Amino acid sequence: MTGDPQPWIRGPLVIDAAVLQELHAHARDTYPSECCGFVSGPRVEPDHLTTAMREENEADKYHKLDPETFPRTSKTYFKINELRATRALAAGEENDTPIKVIYHSHCDAGAYFSKEDAATFASNNTLMWPCAFIVVSVMEGEVRDTKLWVHEPGTNGFRESTLTVR
Ligand SMILES: [Zn+2]
């Protein structure tokens, strides 16, 4: 192993067709709300994505409790439980099947990485979670597009990378 323990954060990545289908199914199921979750894979194949895990989008819960701080609902926003995320990442590391991707959907919008997405996942020019990011675009209930985004080191920005379906 070299000095780079999490090479998947740079992309490009390879996803099993069944896993991509599961992300698409999740995105359709939650439409017109955004879905979110994790994708993991074996550490020994750093670019390979083999397992999807659905997470609850807590945007509506926060919006209900505190609409001023959280003005947006799950239609345009997603929020993963941070404690669950921390635990899932730690468990993945222990099992040698690290979480490599955090995914979410956009409803009636493209599969771009939004300003809000960038602000959620990078701060002070540092990537917050050691992951790459998949965004699924759902238009009128149908999956339209899927894109992989990776952090640009030393910035708060992200660029598109290649996601190959196998
Ligand atoms: Zn987004």
Interval 36-62 mean pLDDT: 97
Report how far ligand 1's centroid is from the alpha carbon of 87 (Å). Answer: 22
CA distance 89 to 102: 11
Predicted pLDDT of residue 89: 97
SS in 3 state form for 26-45? HHHHHCCCCCEEEEECCCCC
Report how far ligand 1's centroid is from the alpha carbon of 100 (Å). Answer: 17
Locate the domains of the chain by residue range: 7-165
103 DSSP β-pair partners? 37, 134
Interval 5-13 mean pLDDT: 96
> Does 1 score more than 70 pLDDT?
no
CA distance 61 to 77: 12
Asked if residue 12 has a cis previous peptide bond (ω within 30° of 0), the answer is: yes
Question: Mean pLDDT of all residues in the chain?
Answer: 96
Q: At the topology level of CATH, where does 7-165 sit?
A: Cytidine Deaminase; domain 2 (3.40.140)
Report how far ligand 1's centroid is from the alpha carbon of 118 (Å). Answer: 8
* pTM recorded for the entire structure: 0.96
Interval 101-125 mean pLDDT: 97
- How large a percentage of the chain has pLDDT more than 90? 97
Find the DSSP H helices in 38-95: 59-65, 82-94
Those residues whose beta carbon sits under 5 angstroms from the ion ligand 1 are: 114, 117
Report how far ligand 1's centroid is from the alpha carbon of 117 (Å). Answer: 5
